[in-house]
Structure 1
Amino acid sequence: MDKSIGNFSVSLNVKDIKTSKEFYEKLGFHVFGGDITQNWLIMQNDDCTIGLFQGMFEKNMLTFNPGWNNKAQEVNPFKDVRVLQEEFRSNGINIINEADTHSTGPASFLIEDPDGNPILIDQHR
């Protein structure tokens, strides 16, 4: 049984995206995606990915992207976000914000670990 929940990254709630971008560049990260004019960037260093988000959510969160590898390339097969949501629910995990089970394609849902850390399962395809 496939246990993959997608490519992993950390999504950071930042106060000033330009300052954060400059800081992470000093650590060796480079801009991989996003739009700084919309206050979000995806940065990478080797196979480590972080997202910088200014004013989009309250807490830092773990993020998983079903159907993608760490270069945002499609992987097949992959487990759809709605299937993952139902598997998590059947395992007793509380779904905080649900993906529409009647939809297809891009969707996301949010859960929290026992310490209140948000985990976003975010499918882009």
Structure 2
Amino acid sequence: MKLGAFSVSLNVKDIHASKEFYENLGFHVLSGDINQNWLIMKNGDSVIGLFQGMFDKNILTFNPGWNQNAENIDTFTDIREIQNHLKEKGMKMLTETDAVNEGPAHFTIEDPDGNLILVDQHR
């Protein structure tokens, strides 16, 4: 089972201050819109998302079908297969995706310490 590209989505208080901070650490803006309060930043293979006012907690994010450059990859595990596997293992889903369709979808789970995990397939 391949979860796809990994990033950390950070709930930030001031996106401008956070952008400057992470630029000082060597990150550059990969995509996003600072006027809409979200940026995706990258340093080597490390990817972070900065989100102001969009959610309450930091989120671990996996994107099936993408590499670390947000580019489509040919072979990947579909999100519905990942969801079914986790449910068979007895994992509780906070949100679920439609199990019968294809294409973009997402689901969320929580680890034992309350960390939110988003699996978000864009294609």
Please give the TM-score of this superposition, normalised by the length of structure 2. 0.96
Partner residue of 2:28?
30
The separation in 1 between residues aligned to 2:39 and 2:67, in whole angstroms, is: 17
Q: Give ranges in structure 2 of 5+ residues lacking alignment.
A: none
The separation in 2 between residues aligned to 1:84 and 1:72, in whole angstroms, is: 19
C-alpha distance after superposition, 1:87-108 (max 9, x if no partner): 1110111110111223321110
Displacement of 1:37 after TM fit? 1.4
Name which of 112, 118, 123 aligns with 2:110: 112
Q: How many residues align?
A: 123
Partner residue of 2:47?
49
Q: Give ranges in structure 1 of 5+ residues lacking alignment.
A: none
What amino acid maps onto 1:112 in structure 2?
E
The separation in 1 between residues aligned to 2:89 and 2:22, in whole angstroms, is: 37
Please give the TM-score of this superposition, normalised by the length of structure 1. 0.95
Runs of 4+ residues deviating >4 angstroms: none
Residue identity (%) = 62
Instruction: Using the TM superposition, name which of 85-94 and 97-106 deviates more.
Output: 97-106
